[in-house]
Chain A
């Protein structure tokens, strides 16, 4: 089948698959080989990212390289493993079978890593085995006879240090040979294909058998395991210290937090200013038609409310990338695991929950690293309770309007800061309580095991970090952008109809205003009227949109969260108790269509997003009602 396909696809460049266990330096090598010429998409129907890139070869031709997810085996227990297996076997829809393989392993842990090799060799494709991190192997006094290993496995072998780029040229040589249709074919009689596939054997026996083979192979190849990494040991004795470990963990969390809020703010203000001033410029240049209104109030405002989050997301991912690539993230997950476990989650949930403070959309995507499906669902279900940055303008406006600027804890904390902190706390409490509830009801399961490999500490590569940032921002703009943009334009249209003789209707008579009136009976028990109702609808695009909407409804020019004029009309129109209720509502309710869309994608259907939306809306409404009653 493979041959006939190759004949059919003569116009296509050969496809080479990059396979390897996690932390073997696979992605670093992929980036070295493809650079900016890579594309990220999802494999059809599943939430596994597909990275495909073009490799420019030495003879000027090129081939396609696919970076498969890092896996430890092919048991198809996880999505990553299933996708990897299907791609390798050429069974994945919409993807041709690979013509050759590049198998990359961490040579300092050769024995452990070769467990993956045997099933891959069974495929009998031309294979290059890349012994990565060979510089580290040498430094720490390890050794392996490449040629003996190559003979025994029947593959070509190259030593690399993907981080520094050593050996990448030799990988290119191999790929050039693949393109020329002349890769060294595996010596069939020496491959490990005589190993029985593990179908009929008890699992342990199959693994034990494979393990024994691997031991024989590394013994024959004269593998000397390197001494333990002294640096990693020393760092671990600090980062995993009983006392310092949790303290450093806290410091890291605070640092990430600080960076999202302090460093990103000037950039976000800058972007806001650019969008606003260019909008104003458009208003003065274009004639006053519905088209100008669509362009400025619909499209332009929509684009603006998406990209304003970009600095924050970039800074967040820069930090997370550094933590991940340096090896600290695995330690952080171990430290977080005990407390997460008590709630019903696991250590890996810490990363998405932390990301949720910037934006739930990338946070939900980050939960893909959670291997246990129930844990992952519970995590993405509670992630939107984390106080994302879109809530902040809403909080800022209502707090400035209704909470007096008084000291709360003497000179240490003002009442306003205390309320803000309380809202953050409310989100955490809701997340914890919901996770606890979910794991005892809908996602009930035996406690799954938590297993975390702690890779040696390494200095992150700038190239990999930069490419990942590029990648993440593209995904964010695509996912959130499409939704926010659509919702903004639809909302704009709803302010334009039904048309009156003089053009657009007054907001109260517009379709949007009428929806506000329809909602009014529901929010009347909270002491709110149709105006806030309209704001609640528009804030579905992104929560902070309510600020601008209230400005429009009250006829306040340039309404932002610091606008005194807007604060004054709100103080006149909304009672203190209703304002507190509204704050609580925004702390709980899922006022974000982008999150709903991402949830649908990541949970594979409408069931979870609908349940989540209804649950959070209910919690928000009840919370607001209780708060309104208490303070009325």
Chain B
């Protein structure tokens, strides 16, 4: 199983992982660094490159719970560490 292609990588933006994003900070997903069979459940739920993700709380065990497309999804932190994201600029956040 090959890793999914990196769809869009802006070299100027330092690579940030979803696991490092503070609560309530909305970010944009750039790529999913997971084998296809593990990425598919994410894709089906709308966790796609280009989508906006916002960590809303962490579980008692310290795993992230994120909001995507109005759905609440719980991930393991190991999975969150495989999601490359970038911060939205002020302008993008406003739109």
**Partner-B contacts on A (CB < 8 A):** 72-73, 75, 77, 108-109, 111-112, 115, 202-205, 207-208, 211, 225-226, 228, 232, 236-237, 240-243, 245-246, 330, 334-335, 337-339, 341, 371, 446-455
* Interchain Cβ contacts within 8 Å, total number: 127
The answer on a CB contact under 8 Å between B70 and A112 is yes
Name the residue on B nearest A203 (C-beta).
B36
| Residues of chain B with a CB closer than 8 A to A237's CB | 57
Top 8 A-B residue pairs of the complex, sorted by shortest distance between their CB atoms:
A338-B61, A72-B44, A112-B69, A454-B72, A73-B44, A207-B43, A245-B60, A452-B74
Query: A111–B63 contact, CB under 8 A?
Result: no
Residues 19-68 of B contacting A (Cβ, < 8 Å): 32, 34-46, 48-51, 57, 59-63, 65, 67-68
* Bound Cα distance from A447 to B79, whole angstroms: 10
Q: When A208-B50, A242-B60, A338-B61 are in contact, do A75 and B73 touch as well, CB less than 8 Å?
A: no
Please indicate the chain A residues that have their CB under 8 angstroms from the CB of B67 in the complex: 228
| Range class of the B interface residue count | 35 or more
Residues of chain B lying within 8 A (CB to CB) of residue A77: 37, 40-41
Residue among B38, B41, B45, B68 with the highest chain A CB neighbour number at 10 A: B41
Cα distance, A334 to B41, chains bound together (Å): 17
Q: Are A236 and B57 in contact (CB under 8 A)?
A: yes
A-B contacts besides A112-B46, A115-B44, A335-B59, 8 pairs, CB < 8 Å = A75-B40, A109-B71, A204-B32, A208-B7, A338-B62, A449-B38, A451-B45, A452-B74
Q: Is B88 an interface residue (CB 8 A)?
A: no
B42 contacts A337, C-beta separation under 8 Å: no
Are the C-beta atoms of B73 and A240 separated by less than 8 Å? no
Residues of chain B lying within 8 A (CB to CB) of residue A211: 46, 48, 50-51
List residues of chain B with CB within 8 A of the CB of A453.
45, 71-74
Q: Per-position contact with A for B68-84: 1 when CB-CB < 8 Å, else 0?
A: 11111111101100000
For the complex, give the distance between the alpha carbons of A236 and B23 in Å. Answer: 15
**B68 and A450 contact, CB distance less than 8 A:** no
Q: Who on chain A is nearest to B69 by CB?
A: A112
B22 to chain A, nearest CB (A): 16
* Contacting residues, chain B, for A226 (C-beta < 8 A): 70
In the assembled complex, the CB of B32 is this many whole angstroms from the nearest CB of chain A, namely: 7
> A238 CA to B75 CA in the complex, in Å?
19
B38 nearest CB neighbor, chain A only: A449
Given A75-B44, A211-B46, A211-B51: A448 in contact with B38 (beta carbons within 8 A): yes
How far apart are the CA atoms of A411 and B73 in the complex, in Å? 47
Q: Tell me whether A204 and B5 are in contact in the complex, defined as CB-CB below 8 angstroms, given that A211-B48, A335-B60, A454-B65 are known contacts.
A: yes
Q: Which residues of A lie under 8 Å from residue B43 when comparing CB positions?
A: 73, 203-204, 207
Taking a contact as CB atoms under 8 Å apart, the answer to whether B79 and A112 are in contact is: no
- Contacts A/B (CB < 8 Å), 25 sampled: A72-B41, A73-B43, A112-B46, A112-B69, A204-B48, A205-B7, A208-B49, A211-B48, A240-B65, A245-B59, A246-B60, A330-B74, A334-B59, A334-B61, A337-B59, A338-B63, A448-B38, A449-B38, A449-B42, A449-B78, A450-B76, A451-B42, A451-B79, A453-B45, A454-B65
The answer to whether residues A452 and B73 also contact, given A204-B7, A208-B49, A338-B63 and a CB cut-off of 8 A, is: yes
- A454 surroundings in chain B (CB, below 8 A): 65, 72-74
CA distance A446 to B35 in the complex (A): 11
Is B44 a contact partner of A111 (Cβ separation < 8 A)? no
Partner among B4, B37, B41, B68 whose Cβ is within 8 Å of the Cβ of A112: B68
Given A203-B43, A335-B59, also A451-B4 (CB < 8 A): no
Q: Are A451 and B71 in contact (CB under 8 A)?
A: no
A226 and B51 CA atoms in complex are apart in Å by: 18
How far is it, in angstroms, between the C-alpha of A292 and the C-alpha of B29 when the chains are bound? Answer: 73
Query: A72: which B residues are within 8 A, CB to CB?
Result: 41, 44-45
The answer to whether residues A341 and B76 also contact, given A202-B5, A240-B59 and a CB cut-off of 8 A, is: yes
Distance of A203 Cα from B60 Cα, bound (Å): 33
Q: Shortest Cβ distance from A305 into chain B, in angstroms?
A: 41
Inter-chain contacts of B4 with A (CB < 8 A): 202-204
Whether the pair A225, B60 counts as a contact (CB closer than 8 A) is no
Residue in chain B with minimal CB distance to A233: B56
Could you tell me the distance in whole angstroms from the C-beta of B37 to the nearest C-beta in chain A? 7
Closest A residue to B67 by CB, please name it. A228
Q: Bound complex: CA of A578 vs CA of B39, how far in Å?
A: 54
Alpha-carbon distance between A205 and B5 when the two chains are bound, in angstroms? 9
Pick the residue among B38, B42, B70 that contacts A111 (CB under 8 A).
B70
Whether B62 lies near A204 (C-beta < 8 A) is no
**Shortest distance from the beta carbon of B48 to any chain A beta carbon, whole Å:** 5
B76 and A337: CB pair below 8 A? Answer: yes
Task: Decide: A334 near B37, CB < 8 A? Known: A240-B60, A240-B65, A451-B42.
Answer: no
Give the residue among B7, B35, B59, B67 with the most A Cβ atoms within 10 A.
B59
User: Could you tell me if A450 and B50 are in contact, using CB atoms closer than 8 angstroms?
Assistant: no
Asked whether B69 lies within 8 Å of A109 as measured between CB atoms, the reply is yes
* Cα A449 to Cα B77 with chains together (Å): 10
A206 to B22, CA, bound (A): 30
Q: In the complex, what residues of A have CB within 8 A of residue B34's CB? A: 449
Minimal beta-carbon separation of A211 from chain B (angstroms):
5
- Taking CB atoms, residues of chain A closer than 8 Å to B60 are 240-243, 245-246, 335, 338
Report the Cα distance A555→B56, complex, angstroms. Answer: 67
Contact indicator B49/A204 (Cβ below 8 Å): yes
Contact partner, B65, options A73, A208, A334, A455, Cβ 8 Å:
A334
Closest CB-CB distance, A381 to chain B, in whole Å? 22
Distance in angstroms between the alpha carbons of A205 and B46 in the assembled complex = 13
Q: Among the listed A73, A242, A246, which residue makes an inter-chain contact with B40, where contact means beta carbons less than 8 Å apart? A: A73
Residue from B4, B32, B49, B61 having most chain A Cβ neighbours under 10 A: B61
B48 touching A240 by the CB < 8 A rule? no
CA distance A72 to B71 in the complex (A): 13
Query: Contact check: which of B5, B44, B79 meets A449 at CB < 8 Å?
Result: B79
A451 to chain B, nearest CB (A): 5
For residue B39, which residues in chain A have a CB less than 8 angstroms away from its CB? 203-204
B78, A447: Cβ atoms closer than 8 Å? yes
What CA separation (Å) do A226 and B69 show in the bound complex?
Answer: 11
- Scoring B42, B43, B68 by chain A CB atoms within 10 A of each residue's CB, the highest score goes to B43
Closest Cβ neighbor of A232 among chain B residues: B72
Nearest A-chain residue to B6, judged by Cβ: A204
Chain B residues with CB under 8 A of A449: 34, 38, 41-42, 75-76, 78-79
Residue among A211, A236, A330, A371 having the largest count of chain B Cβ atoms under 10 Å: A211
Question: Measured between alpha carbons, how far is A129 from B45 in the docked complex, in Å?
Answer: 19
Set of chain B residues within 8 Å of A335, measured between Cβ atoms: 59-61
